[in-house]
Amino acid sequence: MQVFNPYLPQWEYIPDGEPHVFGDRVYVYGSHDRFGAPIFCMNDYVCWSAPLSDLSDWTCSGVIFSKKQDPMNLTGLRLLFAPDVQQGPDGRYYLYYAFDFMGAIGVAVCDKPDGRYEFLGHVHDRQGRKFGSRRGDEFPFDPGVLHDEDGRVWLYSGFATKVPAILSRFHSLKNSGGVVMELASDMMTIIQEPTLLFPRKGNGAPDEFLDHEFFEASSIRKIDGKYIFVYSGSCNHELCYAQSDRPDGDFRFGGTLVDLGDLFLDGNTDERQGRNYLGNTHGGMAKLGDDWYIFYHRQTNQHSYSRQACAEKLRRREDGSFCQSEVTSCGLNGGPLHGIGIYPARIACNLWSRSGVARYDRKFDKKAHPYFTQDKKDDDHSATQYIANMKDGAVAGFKYFDIQEAHSLRVCISGPCDGAVEVSSEPDFQSVSSRIPVRSSGSKIYASSHLKIERGVHALYFRFSGAGAMNFYSFELA
């Protein structure tokens, strides 16, 4: 079986995914967005997992922790942001979370990785004072946790917001950047006070972090004796990493691991030339079989509140450092997709309009841009996800396919539109492999044409040319 990006079902919206391997399965712990929501993370935590032997076989264990389980949120009005999970010294599993901007980190516990977690308490000091309630504390946000081989437990946190008004009700708290603190074996009590590891932009970050300073999304791993800290950089659409020989200091910048628009690859830093729509992202690393992967999320629906889980294979250099991965449609597949068969348009890894891309966290003309959306409400398993509003010059790109036998291409689209779909293996369309006339007054239609392309591994880019706005559902290589 093949696996695509996004790797979960088309109706599921899990951002901030932290992957962890327990036994012979990989478990993903993330926030839980709602399709069409007006704000982040409106749903309760669920857990998805897959056997390492088949990364296409994802199953959901249901809700593992709900908003109302925390005594600070009995009404359920606060939102569960990015979590992390670690196995403690006692063999149980500990879930760490923060409720949006309440200024505390909660802890829940369970006997198995994907069971129903029970509220345990909040991270606090030896005197019982909650982290985030003490004057001068760093703002508690996006916990990342490491239970080290020597038994010590490290908690990472931080938020370098560009919107100081968010912190107005927490005037005594700081947002200096990313911090680390040591916890006792009870997994909640601070025994080594927070230390600033990653100063935010404008707060004295080392020069090597320039334009990649810490913003949020703390995630920590120990790999071959090195501590690898993954975080969202100051541009807010990439995941970077830093490396150290110790868990609580001396981190050096390692580079970008993945960027939603493939920026920083080949020296491109111009957001207007991004290969996909930009917004926040968050994730972590996992070794699945012999390969390392970076997990992250993409944006949909022309806003940042309906995000979906993706992953890409990471390539390591001889010195053990990691290279930046491009965003692809294959992700956890481990290699190119079959060059024959039916593929949903929702697995496009590149999407842009005639005028380029936009950032979803800034104002833009929504009518001018294509976007991923679905035809039914949140959590409706019969929903179909598709690309909407492809106007003249809009491009959807898919990478990669091992094309050996395909000689024709059929697309499923709807309108209203009147024009043609041009297909190329090159993003600049220097050569065109197929041209498919399309015309629809609104209902779905199928249209096909000959495909002229050399055998081998190729990307496929679909460009609409014509009048109106095309909706793109799927294509078939035959």
Are 362 and 298 within 8 A, CB to CB? no
Helices (H), 92-228: none
And the tokens for 398? 């898919």
**Annotated catalytic residue, options 16, 84, 114, 137:** 16
Burial class from Cβ neighbours inside 10 Å (0-12, 13-18, 19+) for residue 60 reads middle
Q: How far apart are CA 354 and CA 315, in angstroms?
A: 32
Q: How far apart are CA 410 and CA 406, in angstroms?
A: 11
Which single residue is written with the structure tokens 């000959």? Answer: 450
DSSP-based three-state secondary structure for 403: strand
The DSSP call for residue 44 is P
What is the b/e burial string over 244-259, where b = at least 16 CB atoms within 10 angstroms of the residue's CB? beebbeebebbebbbb
Q: 457: Cβ–Cβ under 8 A, 6 or more apart, which residues?
A: 336, 400, 401, 402, 403
Which single residue is written with the structure tokens 């006792």? Answer: 184
- Beta-ladder partners of 463: 395, 422
**Annotated catalytic residue, options 18, 84, 213, 216:** 216
Q: What angle do CA 187, 294, 309 make, to 5 degrees?
A: 90
DSSP-based three-state secondary structure for 209: helix
Decide if 16 is catalytic.
yes
Decide if 216 is catalytic.
yes
**E-assigned strands of 301-394?**
303-314, 337-338, 341-344, 350-352, 371-374, 385-390
And the tokens for 167? 């912190």
Which of 306, 264, 391 is CA-nearest to residue 42? 306
Backbone dihedral angles phi then psi of residue 13, each to the nearest 5 degrees:
-130, 90
Q: How is the chain split among helix, strand and coil, in percent rounded to 5?
A: 5, 45, 45
Q: How far apart are CA 442 and CA 470, in angstroms?
A: 9
Q: How far apart are CA 260 and CA 115, in angstroms?
A: 32
Q: In what order do the strands lie in the sheet with 214-223?
A: 214-223, 226-233, 238-244, 252-259
And the tokens for 6? 């996004």
Active-site residue list: 16, 216
